[in-house]
């Protein structure tokens, strides 16, 4: 367990390859674009420690300070900087991670004071994890673009060369060959990345259009990182996605077809996880990926029921979905990991309008409760839809294809004079073919 240093001098046993986490408890203050009105410094540092572990690092100590507002020069006070410098020098600490978003001048001033120590912030650590886990070509381009836009302005400290993005926590990504050139070259690289991603986004839109033509409802699996989204997709579809007990183990969206108990097919898409204070450049770079939630017909918000912070994580997820413009869709709240949670299951509060939200309790590992989840999805999909029998004259056989394109066809019976078709239709389709409706069941 790392030492928590709070307004005290500290002397620790010398260890190498360790990092110090630093946070400021600002109470109800705000810092930059982030609202810290409900900021719990210890819980936030717990999450930062998990992020560091995912990146391959280990926490040696924590340093916290209570201030009404962060110091504009060094984030923490001058005395704390001296204490931090002594701690790093005495224990051969080479990395300090701040639980905030530092300005370029703050990084420069801190590195000047701390000596031979690399200073990164929370956003840089998250970007580093994305670089570590990016697998596909698109994912790597998205990460590189986000890193260049966010990190390059912060590399001016101590005369540090741009090749700092080369090896180690907070330094993964594009590499020396792309960053040792001047800023004009970097701007050209950013423009090239944006052009490549624009082409990939057009391809993704083409794929979405193709899926739309299939008339299969699209369901996006969203939620806080490490809530079990990929495990759930694997359970339903045998997608074979790598599942790890790490933050941001999945970056690239994966779509698979799932047949519901009623026989109707849907498309399930696993998406990148959310986290509090997700870097703005990362959201912009991953826009085409995050748009899977925007274009979905239904959202499944997966929540770790065993995490005591589940309410905050739901709030973060809902806020990001709102910023993406995807908060107006039918939604099911899926409390996962109920097999490992406490005896008392978490309760989902009603919405702002007092309406009770859809909540299902499952275990994506054992399958417990997944039957109720499928029933809930069927209920949402079939809301307003009814089993309808159409009777087409033989001369109107082409209308059968219209039904295949716009409804779920269960049965087609070709008679001598008429074609009888049973299909699940919505009001729009029933109105469009009203003169051929024989029965609505």
Q: What number of other Cβ atoms are within 10 A of residue 415's Cβ?
A: 9
pLDDT in tens, 95-113: 999 999 999 899 999 999 9
Q: How far apart, in whole angstroms, are the C-alpha atoms of residue 40 and residue 111? A: 27
Residue 289: the pLDDT is: 72
Angle, vertex CA 95, rays to CA 93 and CA 101, nearest 5: 145
Examine the pLDDT at 397 and tell me if it is beyond 80: yes
Q: Is 162 helix (H, G, I), strand (E, B) or coil?
A: helix
pLDDT of 8 reads 36
**Cα dihedral value 432, 428, 202, 153, nearest 10:** 160
pLDDT band at 157 (very low <50, low <70, confident <90, very high): very low
What pLDDT is recorded for position 422?
95
Q: How many Å apart are CA 334 and CA 71, to the nearest integer?
A: 41
**3-state secondary structure string across 55-124:** CCCEEEEEEEEECCCCECCCECCHHHHHHHHHHHHHHCCCEEEECCCCCHHHHHHHHHHHCCCEEEEHHH
pLDDT greater than 50 at residue 160: no
- Among 67-71, 272-276, 286-290, 385-389, which stretch is predicted with the lowest mean pLDDT? 286-290
Give the pLDDT band (50/70/90) at residue 434: very high
Containing 45, the helix (H) or strand (E) segment is: helix 41-54
Q: What is the pTM of this model?
A: 0.76
pLDDT, position 390: 96
- 354 vs 167, more confident: 167
pLDDT tens digit string along 295-312? 898 999 999 998 888 888
pLDDT digits (tens, 9 = 90+) for 336-363: 998 876 567 777 766 554 455 789 999 9
Lowest average pLDDT, out of 67-71, 161-165, 196-200, 247-251, goes to 161-165
Give the best-scoring range by mean pLDDT among 177-186, 244-253, 384-393. 384-393
Kindly state the tokens that stand for 101. Answer: 């978003």
Q: What is the pLDDT of residues 34-70, one digit of tens each?
A: 444 456 889 899 999 999 998 889 999 999 999 888 9
Q: Above 80 in pLDDT, residue 251?
A: no
Q: Is residue 16 over pLDDT 80? A: no
The proportion of the chain whose per-residue pLDDT surpasses 70, expressed as a percent, equals 81
pLDDT in tens, 174-193: 554 444 555 677 888 889 99
Q: Closest by alpha carbon to 228, among 131, 327, 334, 349?
A: 334
Query: Which of 224-238, 250-264, 319-333, 341-355 is predicted least confidently?
Result: 341-355
Q: What percent of the chain lies above the pLDDT cut of 90? A: 39
In this prediction, residue 119 carries a pLDDT of 92
Taking residue 207's Cβ as centre, other Cβ atoms within 10 Å add up to 11
Helix locations, 267-369, DSSP H = 280-285, 287-295, 310-324
Between residues 293 and 207, the one the model is more confident about: 293
- Identify the pLDDT of residue 38: 56
CB atoms within 10 A of CB 159: 7
- Mean pLDDT in residue range 120-134: 87
For the chain, how many residues are written? 441
Alpha helices in 163-228 (DSSP H): 176-179, 183-213
Over 60: is that where the pLDDT of 159 sits?
A: no
Which pLDDT belongs to residue 76? Answer: 96
Could you tell me the pLDDT band of residue 33, with boundaries at 50, 70 and 90? very low
Which of 44 and 277 is assigned the larger pLDDT? 44
Q: Is the pLDDT of residue 244 over 80?
A: no
Looking at the DSSP bridge assignments, the partners of residue 393 are: 418
């Amino acid at each position: 367990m790392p030492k928590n240093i709070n307004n005290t001098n500290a002397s620790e046993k010398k260890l190498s390859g360790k990092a110090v986490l630093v946070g400021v408890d600002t109470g109800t203050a705000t810092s930059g674009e982030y609202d810290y009105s409900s900021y719990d410094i210890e819980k936030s540092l717990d999450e930062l420690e998990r992020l560091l572990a995912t990146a391959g690092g280990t926490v040696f100590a924590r340093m916290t300070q209570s201030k009404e507002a962060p110091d504009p020069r060094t984030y923490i006070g001058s005395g704390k900087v001296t204490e931090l410098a002594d701690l790093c020098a005495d224990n051969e600490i080479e990395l300090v991670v701040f639980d905030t978003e530092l300005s370029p001048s703050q990084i420069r001033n801190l590195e000047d004071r701390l000596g031979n120590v690399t200073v990164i912030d929370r956003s840089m650590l998250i970007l580093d994890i994305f670089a570590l886990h990016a697998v596909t070509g698109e994912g790597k381009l998205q990460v590189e673009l986000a890193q260049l836009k966010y990190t390059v302005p912060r590399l001016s400290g101590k005369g540090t060369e741009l090749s700092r993005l080369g090896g180690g926590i907070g330094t993964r990504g594009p590499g020396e060959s792309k960053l040792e050139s001047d800023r004009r070259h970097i701007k050209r690289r950013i423009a090239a990345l944006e052009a490549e991603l624009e082409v990939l986004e057009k391809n993704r839109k083409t794929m979405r259009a193709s899926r739309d033509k299939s008339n299969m409802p699209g369901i996006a699996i969203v939620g806080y990182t490490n809530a079990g989204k990929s495990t759930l997709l694997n359970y339903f579809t045998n997608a074979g996605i790598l599942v790890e007990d790490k933050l941001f183990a999945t970056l690239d969206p994966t779509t698979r077809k799932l047949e519901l108990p009623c026989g109707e097919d849907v498309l399930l898409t696993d998406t990148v996880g959310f986290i509090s204070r997700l870097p703005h450049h990362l959201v912009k770079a991953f826009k085409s990926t995050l748009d899977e939630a925007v274009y979905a017909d239904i959202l499944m918000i997966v929540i770790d029921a065993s995490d005591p912070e589940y309410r905050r994580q739901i709030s973060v997820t809902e806020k990001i979905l709102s910023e993406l413009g995807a908060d107006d869709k039918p939604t099911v709240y899926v409390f996962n990991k109920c097999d490992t949670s406490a005896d008392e299951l978490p309760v989902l509060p009603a919405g702002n309008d007092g309406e009770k939200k859809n909540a299902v309790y499952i275990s994506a590992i054992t399958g417990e409760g997944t039957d109720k989840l499928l029933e809930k999805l069927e209920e949402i999909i079939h809301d307003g839809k009814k089993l309808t029998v159409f009777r087409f004259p033989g001369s109107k056989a082409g209308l059968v294809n219209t039904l295949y394109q716009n409804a779920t066809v269960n049965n087609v019976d070709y008679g001598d004079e008429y074609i009888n078709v049973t299909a699940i239709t919505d009001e729009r389709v029933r109105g469009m073919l009203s003169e051929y409706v024989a029965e609505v069941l």
